[in-house]
Amino acid sequence: MFRRSVATATTLSALLTSAVAQAHPGHGTIDASQPAHYVVEPLHAAPWIGLVAVAVAAAMYARGYWKKNR
């Protein structure tokens, strides 16, 4: 179970951080000097969504959400 979790986390990390490498001047529709650019643009929003998903999953795991004998 732990190895599968580590493999999944590693895969997600590799996929989400590769999006950052695609950044270049002029990408997106909102000027990069605006804070909204880092929230709305998919290349910037995807890592944040992934981070939130991992944090929620970690919190659920820590609280014992997936225990068989609830």
pLDDT of residue 21: 60
pLDDT digits (tens, 9 = 90+) for 1-50: 677 788 888 888 877 776 666 555 666 677 878 888 878 877 778 888 88
CB atoms within 10 A of CB 66: 10
Any domain includes 69: no
Any domain includes 50: yes
pLDDT of residue 58: 92
pLDDT bucket at 56, cuts 50 / 70 / 90 = very high
Any domain includes 46: yes
Torsion of CA 5, 54, 65, 4, to 10 degrees: -10
Any domain includes 49: yes
> How many structural domains comprise the chain?
1
pLDDT of residue 54: 93
Any domain includes 11: yes
HSE-CB for 68 with a 13 A CA cutoff: 0
The answer on pLDDT for 63 being more than 80 is yes
